[in-house]
A and B are shown apart, each in its own frame.
Chain A
Amino acid sequence: MPIAQLTSVDYAVMAVYFAVVLGIGWALRRMMRTSTDFFLSGRSLPPWVTGLAFLSANLGAQEVIGMGASGAKYGIATSHFYWVGAIPAMVFVGLFMMPFYYGSRARSVPEYLKLRFDEKTRTLNAVSFAAMTVFSSGVSMYAMGKLLNLLLGWDFDTSVLAAAGVVLAYVLLGGLTSAIYNEVLQFFMIVFGFAPLVWIGLRSVGGWDGLTARLTEAAAARGLPAGAYTHAWQGLGSPATNPIGVEWFGLVMGLGFVLSFGYWCTDFLVVQRAMAADSMTAARRTPLIAAVPKMFFPFLVILPGMIALVLGADAGADGAAGAGQGIIPPKFDAGGAPLLDAGGRVVLDYDLATPMMLVRLFPSGMLGLGLTALIASFMSGMAGNVTAFNTVWTYDIYQAHIRRGASDAHYLWMGRAATVGGILLSVAAAYVASAFNNIMDFLQLVFAFVNAPLFATFALGMFWRRTTGHGAFWGLVSGTLAAALHHGLTLAVGAVPGVKGGYFGVLHRYPSELAQTFWTAIAAFLTCLAVTTLVSLATRPRAEAELAGLVYSLTPRPRDEVRSWAQRPAAFAAVVLALTLALNFVFF
């Protein structure tokens, strides 16, 4: 029994959107002549386009659904993922790392590792990255199929195959340009689809003051201080006084430094968008321009989750069963009874917080727009992964190991074939996810281990000329192992040993899963840093002449050709950081 019924006006909105999406691919089909056109948009896009795509490539289901779920779970403190996590890292990659990505002749992040270090470091990164993109795109499709089935009663197979078909069509026709143009379109769809949700949602709960008052009750029901859901920093002195269950040091180091810098500064999925820019200045401005809307995204994606937690709480009708859960439905076990946690409380299906808001608050018409925005976010995640996959496969695996020195036309053909292959593998991954949920949890864990040490490798490589290829490779391997070891020896309170950790025995218990995640990342980062340094000192460094353009101290500072402050990366970055700091104080 579907939760929502669509009418013809909703279908009309969806149809128009899909027509434009496919139309963009069609209009760009004649412009893909060389592999650089296909993989890097011929390095011809202006910074506002690459900036919005930089943001949108990451704006998959993880962001919209996941941040709504976190908003319902943790309240405004979820904004740490933005104001402590993403923004400083985006500023750093724009100011300090983009000169090496764009300025070296690298066409992908793994290729930078090849130029800076050696083939084995590149291959390690390329293979794990390629596997990860296929897997995340599959998980995105699976989540979409499941959600559309639940909300609208649509057939899982049809939803997954239709979405895959649309993404395949526009990437195949127009390459990275088509993916980027569609990401810009998706960015606006998501903003226009979710902004009214926040508007109507806040109106329904009596504005920010009404929301604060109701969340105070919700916090009290969970034994937290009054402002726990509406203040980002106040309860961070101790894990017991904030809903995240983490103290400030673990949050700032683990999330703010290791995880966010590791993702935003080294993940080719986002860096590829900046590499498509038309000049060095534009490439450096790409993440900085993306940071401006990014800092306001908490209001768009976190607030709906917070509102969902308290909406209808005083309605009476479902008040008895649903006190403190708003419109968020519980999770059900196989027999159809609500799941209970160890304390006898109902376990909520937080991932449904934002979708339920759409269904509850939007009338026909707007409902079509909101659902289209949701589908756009799923497809954006999928297309971002597929375009990153086809590039890394073609340049870093196929050209490097399978067939060197072929013609550009051959690699262009390979890129198209890899697009088809990547989508087929994603669909396969979506079905694996639907059949074996545990395998996906396990893979997600492995990828988290692989990613955790990455930033140490890049930071040492770019800023310490003495770093060697052997150092980088063994640092990455040992960092990954350290993450697995740390995770295997610790457990969050209330979790059982298994995929949540503790499989080697439990030496330490963290107050929450996120605290465990943050400290796992910190352990991986420090291990990688130490091992890379030691192995580098013990091995022979490369000649400095070979490292020009790849290492900070051996590269001329980029000189910006433009005059106004908004076009100068450093000045723009200062404004972005000042605004982010101000937001932290407003919601302290």
Chain B
Amino acid sequence: MSGAAGLDVRYPIGGLFVVLGLILAGYGVATGNDAGLYARSSGVNVNLWWGAVMLAFGLVMAFLAARSQGGTAHPAESTPEGRATEAREHDAGLEREGRGGR
């Protein structure tokens, strides 16, 4: 596969938000009794609640990535219009070296 096909961007997004969600929710649990800390956020343990939301979002992203195969990206050559565009570029000498095998 060429281009960006090798990496589904939903994996890093999912991973980031799972880790951040765990850090924040964990910190929220640990500081749950610290009323002084949460006075500024009008009494809401925003670390715990928002951490949980981020964790859920991260899991959904990772799940969507795992369910679809082949990544988020596919090269332009796989559609008729994309092939036409690339062919025009090739003919005009704008793209000198094709990808391997072309």
Given contacts A42-B4, A42-B75, A362-B40, contact A34 B95 (CB under 8 A): yes
Contact of B99 among A33, A102, A192 (CB under 8 A): A33
Cβ of B74 and Cβ of A369 under 8 Å apart? no
Measured between beta carbons, the chain B residues less than 8 angstroms from A105 are 85, 88-89, 92, 94
Given contacts A188-B13, A200-B41, contact A34 B4 (CB under 8 A): no
Cβ of B94 and Cβ of A192 under 8 Å apart? no
Cβ of B96 and Cβ of A407 under 8 Å apart? yes
Query: A-B pairs with CB below 8 Å: how many?
Result: 170
Task: Give the residues from 33 to 84 in chain B that come closer than 8 angstroms, CB to CB, to chain A.
Answer: 37-38, 40-42, 44, 46-47, 50-51, 53-54, 57, 72-76, 78-82
Cβ of B4 and Cβ of A196 under 8 Å apart? no
Question: A17-25, A507-515, A571-579: which lies at the B interface?
Answer: A17-25
Contact of B75 among A16, A23, A44, A365 (CB under 8 A): A44
Cβ of B73 and Cβ of A46 under 8 Å apart? yes
Measured between beta carbons, the chain A residues less than 8 angstroms from B2 are 31, 33, 37, 42, 44
Task: Give the residues from 360 to 409 in chain A that come closer than 8 angstroms, CB to CB, to chain B.
Answer: 360-366, 369, 405, 407-409
A439: interface (CB < 8 Å): no
Looking at A102, A105, A361, A407, the one whose CB has the most chain B CB atoms below 10 A away is A105
Cβ of B6 and Cβ of A31 under 8 Å apart? yes
CB of B87 to closest CB in A, whole Å: 9
Cβ of B13 and Cβ of A44 under 8 Å apart? no
Cβ of A24 and Cβ of B12 under 8 Å apart? yes
- Which residue of A has the minimal Cβ distance to B54? A192
Measured between beta carbons, the chain A residues less than 8 angstroms from B82 are 43, 278-279
Contact of A200 among B19, B24, B46, B57 (CB under 8 A): B46
Q: How large is the interface on B (under 10, 10 to 19, 20 to 34, 35 or more residues)?
A: 35 or more
Task: Give the residues from 102 to 155 in chain A that come closer than 8 angstroms, CB to CB, to chain B.
Answer: 102-103, 105, 107
Measured between beta carbons, the chain B residues less than 8 angstroms from A46 are 72-74
A45: interface (CB < 8 Å): yes
A13: interface (CB < 8 Å): yes
Cβ of B37 and Cβ of A44 under 8 Å apart? no
Distance in angstroms between the alpha carbons of A188 and B44 in the assembled complex: 22
Measured between beta carbons, the chain B residues less than 8 angstroms from A31 are 2-7
Given contacts A17-B16, A28-B7, A278-B79, contact A364 B37 (CB under 8 A): yes
Could you mark each residue 63-106 of chain A with 1 if its beta carbon is under 8 Å from any beta carbon of chain B, else 0?
A: 00000000000000000000000000000000000000011010
Contact of B12 among A103, A185, A203, A407 (CB under 8 A): A185
Distance in angstroms between the alpha carbons of A364 and B38 in the assembled complex: 9
Measured between beta carbons, the chain A residues less than 8 angstroms from B31 are 363, 365
Cβ of A192 and Cβ of B47 under 8 Å apart? no
CB of B20 to closest CB in A, whole Å: 6
Cβ of B38 and Cβ of A369 under 8 Å apart? no
Measured between beta carbons, the chain A residues less than 8 angstroms from B85 are 43, 102-103, 105
Measured between beta carbons, the chain A residues less than 8 angstroms from B98 are 34
A41: interface (CB < 8 Å): yes
Distance in angstroms between the alpha carbons of A248 and B88 in the assembled complex: 46
Could you mark each residue 420-456 of chain A with 1 if its beta carbon is under 8 Å from any beta carbon of chain B, else 0?
A: 0000000000000000000000000000000000000
Distance in angstroms between the alpha carbons of A280 and B85 in the assembled complex: 9
Could you mark each residue 158-192 of chain A with 1 if its beta carbon is under 8 Å from any beta carbon of chain B, else 0?
A: 00000000000000000001000100110010001
Task: Give the residues from 39 to 55 in chain A that come closer than 8 angstroms, CB to CB, to chain B.
Answer: 41-46, 49
Contact of A278 among B23, B42, B76, B89 (CB under 8 A): B76
Measured between beta carbons, the chain A residues less than 8 angstroms from B47 are 363, 365-366
Cβ of B42 and Cβ of A42 under 8 Å apart? no
A566: interface (CB < 8 Å): no
Cβ of A200 and Cβ of B42 under 8 Å apart? yes
Cβ of B41 and Cβ of A9 under 8 Å apart? no
Cβ of A185 and Cβ of B38 under 8 Å apart? no
Distance in angstroms between the alpha carbons of A192 and B94 in the assembled complex: 41
CB of A246 to closest CB in B, whole Å: 36
Measured between beta carbons, the chain B residues less than 8 angstroms from A23 are 12
Cβ of A184 and Cβ of B20 under 8 Å apart? no
Measured between beta carbons, the chain A residues less than 8 angstroms from B73 are 41, 44-46, 49, 177, 278
Measured between beta carbons, the chain B residues less than 8 angstroms from A33 are 2, 99-100
Cβ of B42 and Cβ of A181 under 8 Å apart? no
Cβ of B46 and Cβ of A196 under 8 Å apart? yes
Measured between beta carbons, the chain B residues less than 8 angstroms from A177 are 3-4, 73
Cβ of B9 and Cβ of A181 under 8 Å apart? yes
CB of B66 to closest CB in A, whole Å: 17
Measured between beta carbons, the chain B residues less than 8 angstroms from A185 are 9, 12-13, 16
Q: A30-B6, A203-B42, A204-B42 are in contact. List 17 more A-B contacts (CB 8 A).
A: A31-B3, A31-B4, A42-B4, A44-B74, A45-B4, A49-B73, A105-B89, A185-B16, A192-B50, A200-B46, A278-B73, A278-B78, A362-B40, A364-B27, A365-B51, A366-B41, A561-B79
Nearest 10 Cβ contacts at the A-B interface: A42-B3, A44-B3, A43-B76, A408-B96, A365-B47, A177-B4, A408-B97, A105-B88, A279-B79, A280-B81
